[in-house]
Amino acid sequence: MILVVGATGILGGMITQRLLEEGKDVRILVRHNSPAEELAIQRMATSPRLLIASGARPVYGDLKDRDSLDKACAGIEVVITTANSAMRGGEDNVDTVDRQGNRNLIEAAKAANVKQFIFTSFLGADVNSTVLLFQAKAETEARLVESGMPYTILTPNYFMESWIGMIVGIPLQASQPITLVGEGQRLHSIISITDVVSFAVAAVNHPAAINQRLVLGGPEPLSWRGIANSFGQILGQEIPIRFVAPGEPIPGLPEIVPPVLAAMETYDSSIPMDETARAFGVEQTTLTSFIHRTVGIPGG
């Protein structure tokens, strides 16, 4: 049986659904009084009720409660966790969830003799990062490796759905110019969340995934300027682009966007993916197919 922790999130919910579609026995960790049902209406979470109706077996607990995790891990062969504190607040924060919570889960899984622990990290995870979440991700990676338990660490790059959706999608819907920081020419292997789902599911019991840190990107390196131009070509219209200097605000977009775009202008993150995609049998989502799917135009 597979335990999915974070199943009520977007990524975790998609992984759970895919596992169920493949006929796997899946247990999901669900918190009492979880706001997931309400957030699912806003497309910010996955409904636990729908997952249970699809065949997932719920176990109630919390990353902050070690005893509940011991019960959740009993009889489990594989743990997949996508849980984090990013969409939470109050008592659910980086220290309680991403540090201590993940430590609790690793210890509970090891005590239950779990055969594979799949942890979803992020390409930018670094103990020296100025972002607390990225620090915690890196610390958890190290703790998992040190546990001696067979592990798989997934480290995806930025998600197409989230970042292209914000930087290009929001301005397009508002008939506003796309705003880029700097020149928008740096290359990044941005990946579709559906591809991350495919790699996570394929990694279950896969020999090539055991005790590996899998760096995941899209099938082609992309620049923000190139992404904007591709939208224009497929939509058959000129997409206006304005450029701002690092540190300038971008009206209409979340506060996190400008500093991330500024940071992305300081490095390239091109990730060769042919060999990894072939090893795990994943046909990756190209920018063209993503745009067609996003704007509702057949093809791609």
Measured from the Cβ of residue 23, the count of other Cβ atoms closer than 10 Å reads 8
Confidence of residue 4 (pLDDT cuts 50, 70, 90): very high
Integer CA distances (angstroms), 241 to 50, 98, 180, 189, in order: 41, 37, 7, 21
Three-state secondary structure call for residue 112 = coil
What pTM value is reported for the model?
0.94
Average pLDDT, rounded, for the chain: 93
Q: Which two structure tokens, joined as six digits, stand for 212?
A: 């590996």
> What is the structure's pLDDT at 45?
84
Rounded distance between C-alpha atoms, residue 135 and residue 127, angstroms:
4
Residue type at position 21? E
Structure-model confidence comparison of residues 291 and 91, the more confident one: 291
Average pLDDT, stretch 38-64? 90
Integer CA distances (angstroms), 139 to 91, 131, 203, 229, 241, in order: 20, 13, 22, 39, 39
CATH number assigned to the domain covering 160-189+219-295: 3.90.25.10
Measured from the Cβ of residue 232, the count of other Cβ atoms closer than 10 Å reads 15
Integer CA distances (angstroms), 262 to 215, 245, 288, in order: 22, 8, 25
Q: What is the pLDDT of residues 227-261, one digit of tens each?
A: 999 999 999 999 999 999 998 988 888 888 888 89
Helix (H) or strand (E) holding 292: helix 287-295
> What is the structure's pLDDT at 13?
97
State the sign of the Cα–Cα–Cα–Cα dihedral 26, 32, 38, 43.
Answer: negative
The fold adopted by the segment(s) 2-156 is Rossmann fold (3.40.50)
Average pLDDT, stretch 47-74? 95
Sequence spans of domains, the chain: 2-156, 160-189+219-295
Q: What angle do CA 97, 98, 101 make, to 5 degrees?
A: 50
> What is the structure's pLDDT at 249?
87
State the sign of the Cα–Cα–Cα–Cα dihedral 65, 70, 75, 80.
Answer: positive
> What is the structure's pLDDT at 89?
64
Q: What is the pLDDT of residues 281-299, one digit of tens each?
A: 999 999 999 999 988 877 6
Structure-model confidence comparison of residues 17 and 258, the more confident one: 17
- What does DSSP assign to residue 246? T
Residue 80's nearest CA partner among 9, 161, 163, 159 is 9
Residue type at position 93? N
Whether 177 shows a pLDDT value over 80: the answer reads: yes
Which residue in this structure is represented by tokens 């607390």? Answer: 132
Helix (H) or strand (E) holding 144: helix 132-146
% residues pLDDT > 90 (the chain): 78
- Asked whether the domain spanning 160-189+219-295 has the same topology as the one spanning 2-156, the reply is no
Whether 87 shows a pLDDT value over 80: the answer reads: no
Q: What is the pLDDT of residues 106-158, one digit of tens each?
A: 999 999 999 999 999 999 889 988 888 889 999 999 999 999 999 999 999 99
> What is the structure's pLDDT at 178?
95
**DSSP notation for 259-272:** HHHHHHTT--B---
Residues with Cβ < 8 Å from 73, sequence gap 6 or more? Answer: 3, 79, 105, 108, 109, 111, 112, 114
